[in-house]
Amino acid sequence: MSIRLLGTICVDTAIAGILVAGGIMTMQAMNSATAAAVSSAAASAATPDDARRFIEAAEARLLDLNVKASRAEWVHETFITDDTEILSAEADEILKAATSDLAAQSRRFDDVKLPDDVARKFTLLKHAVDIPAPKTPAEQTELSQILASLQSDYGKGKWCPEGENILASSRNPDELRRAWLGWHAVGSPMRKRYERLVILANEGAREMGFADVGAMWRSGYDMSPEAFAAELDRLWQQVRPLYVSLHAYTRTQLAKKYGHAVVSESGPIPADLLGNMWAQQWDNIYPLVAPPNADPGYDLTEILKSKKTDARAMVRYGERFFMSLGFPALPPTFWERSLFTKPADRDVVCHASAWDVDYVDDLRIKMCIEIKAEDFSTIHHELGHNFYQRAYNTQPFFFRDSANDGFHEAIGDTIALSVTPEYLKQIGFIENVPPASADLGLLMRKALEKVAFLPFGLLIDKWRWGAFSGKVAPADYNKAWWELRRQYQGIEAPVARSEADFDPGAKYHVASNTPYARYFLAAILQFQFHRAICRQAGYAGPLHRCSIYNNKEVGARLNKMLAMGKSRPWPEELEALTGEKQMDATAILDYFAPLKKWLDEQNKASGAKIDW
């Protein structure tokens, strides 16, 4: 349903979380229009017309509440005070209560044969709640308190953001371990409450007709829960050879830096050495693994500074990229209402996010832009959300969303993949495109960000699926977590862990109960999109050098998919853009092919063991 791009301190620094509105189930009176539609349906056997009236009333009600909640949240995040926090929490609670209540009410139409579009809306309403509460009021209250307390524990965790900064920049193993342990202590007190949360939320999921919460999450993808799980495994098997090659080379370089007493020759890599608290993206250790003689010969940050580009001008570059594809300019209100720089006089949430406040064209970004290369790329990413949001703004409310939750994140990143040296030359930033030898450096940097992330993106929900289904018993929560970390990422905890710890809770999306498979999908899809549109553009060179800048035909095709919103099953929408009905990780392999070749050569030359 609605898209809220969540900004939270100590969330992923590179990945904005998407939160789907909805959450806990509490009973609250509906507004009279909706209640009337429901009671008329209840009076006798419900008909398809009753169902349509109910779902349309629900859409109108939820649109109104979502807009109100968005406005309150915008004011809160751009002007943090006790009052704005209370106002936004209140608006959010009203929205969640109404969403949950409507989802519960909608079950009376479960046996009515409905037209496709109406049936789809009912499915989306049921999936609007990530953690469904059981019917019993006492249990609802208990679950709601657990959810709030877990999130609050995470927010209050010490070592944040200092711990993150140390993990990013320190090369002292003792200091790294101390910061890693310091932060991971945040999880331990959450364990008992998480265990209880699993029981209560599963009860809610069963009342909604799902086997458990994990099955409910997996069934939000236009296929059976089993088929979705198999899809993720299939995609992972496609990309695994690229990951293990990067892993082996990285392990060799880390061993050179820290010695074999710290980094084993053939085993998993200690989790605190990869430049990130969760070892989920490794770009901070680029200097330790940089291919020699692969400097691109320019520094985008320096170029932006020398051109005296300010924050607003940087956003204009992003807008012009989309306009070069044929998208209309952003509305004047975007420029009036967005927050581009950190205000001097008040606290704001600086984590970059994109907004669609009225679900039509009140588009905004909120970002404390600094004049640097990373932010230049992030701007393209955030604007991807805005142009997507506007493209689907004439769909019914329930369809104003991306095809599946991976698509929304992927679109912005797809455009960012077109910010190539060739593009920088076209906009007058550099005079010459660097030689092919420099590509290895650019590819390595990107692989540390995108390829290193893949197994992490997969295992978070693998662990939760196990916890929710009972396959992982509470007594084994931490053991199962580290088995997955080892199996998929090839990493291990820097010191022995036990069931006194609860390391999953030290990850924001677990503590906040935000589904995670979407980030894995986005990481795969952006390359599939990129390859497809580059082919459509008639581009035949190496994929990492392709930019679709200025290509209006490609833009029109992209817009066609974006405008479909969530109105059709995602394989149909994927086909509309790419001609392919299946997700396909061979595009990411194509993109990194030159790096893979180089990594394999290095691993062979050093005699590095592959795998762990």
Q: Which residues bind Zn ion (CB under 5 A)?
A: 16, 409
Residue environment code for 520-538, b if the CB has 16+ CB neighbours within 10 A, otherwise e? bbbbbbbbbbbbbbbebbe
Q: Shortest Cβ distance from residue 313 to Zn ion (Å)?
A: 22
Q: Would you say 17 or 421 has its CB closer to Zn ion?
A: 17
Q: Would you say 12 or 584 has its CB closer to Zn ion?
A: 12
Q: Would you say 16 or 577 has its CB closer to Zn ion?
A: 16
The span from the first CA to the last CA of the chain, in angstroms, equals 41
Beta carbons within 10 angstroms of residue 279's beta carbon: 24
Q: Would you say 16 or 438 has its CB closer to Zn ion?
A: 16
- Greatest extent of the chain over all pairs of C-alpha atoms, in Å: 77
Q: Shortest Cβ distance from residue 412 to Zn ion (Å)?
A: 5
Q: Shortest Cβ distance from residue 324 to Zn ion (Å)?
A: 21
Question: How far apart are the C-alpha atoms of 355 and 590, rounded to whole Å?
Answer: 33
Three-state secondary structure call for residue 565: coil
Q: Shortest Cβ distance from residue 105 to Zn ion (Å)?
A: 32
Three-state secondary structure call for residue 579: coil
CA angle 548, 286, 270 (to 5 degrees): 125
Residues in Cβ contact with 154 at an 8 Å cutoff, skipping those fewer than 6 apart: 10, 186, 505, 508, 511, 512
Q: Shortest Cβ distance from residue 384 to Zn ion (Å)?
A: 7
Backbone angles phi, psi at 428, to 5 degrees: 80, 20
Question: How far apart are the C-alpha atoms of 98 and 25, rounded to whole Å?
Answer: 9
Q: Shortest Cβ distance from residue 366 to Zn ion (Å)?
A: 12
Residue facing Zn ion at closest CB distance: 16
Cis peptide before 225, with omega less than 30 degrees from 0? no
Backbone angles phi, psi at 365, to 5 degrees: -120, 155
Q: Would you say 353 or 551 has its CB closer to Zn ion?
A: 353
CA 121 to mean position of chain CA atoms: 23
Q: Shortest Cβ distance from residue 519 to Zn ion (Å)?
A: 10
Question: How far apart are the C-alpha atoms of 411 and 42, rounded to whole Å?
Answer: 42
Q: Would you say 16 or 506 has its CB closer to Zn ion?
A: 16
Q: Would you say 409 or 461 has its CB closer to Zn ion?
A: 409
Three-state secondary structure call for residue 3: strand
String of DSSP letters for 549-583: TT-HHHHHHHHHHHHTTTSS-HHHHHHHHHS-SS-
Residue type, 237: Q
Question: How far apart are the C-alpha atoms of 129 and 584, rounded to whole Å?
Answer: 29
Q: Would you say 203 or 413 has its CB closer to Zn ion?
A: 413
Q: Would you say 34 or 353 has its CB closer to Zn ion?
A: 353
Question: How far apart are the C-alpha atoms of 406 and 184, rounded to whole Å?
Answer: 28
CB 490 within 8 A of CB 244: yes
Q: Shortest Cβ distance from residue 453 to Zn ion (Å)?
A: 14
Three-state secondary structure call for residue 353: strand
Q: Shortest Cβ distance from residue 445 to Zn ion (Å)?
A: 19
Q: Would you say 250 or 526 has its CB closer to Zn ion?
A: 526
Residues in Cβ contact with 93 at an 8 Å cutoff, skipping those fewer than 6 apart: none
Q: Would you say 236 or 388 has its CB closer to Zn ion?
A: 388
List the structure tokens of 372. Answer: 């640097």
Q: Shortest Cβ distance from residue 518 to Zn ion (Å)?
A: 10
Q: Shortest Cβ distance from residue 409 to Zn ion (Å)?
A: 5
CB 269 within 8 A of CB 254: yes
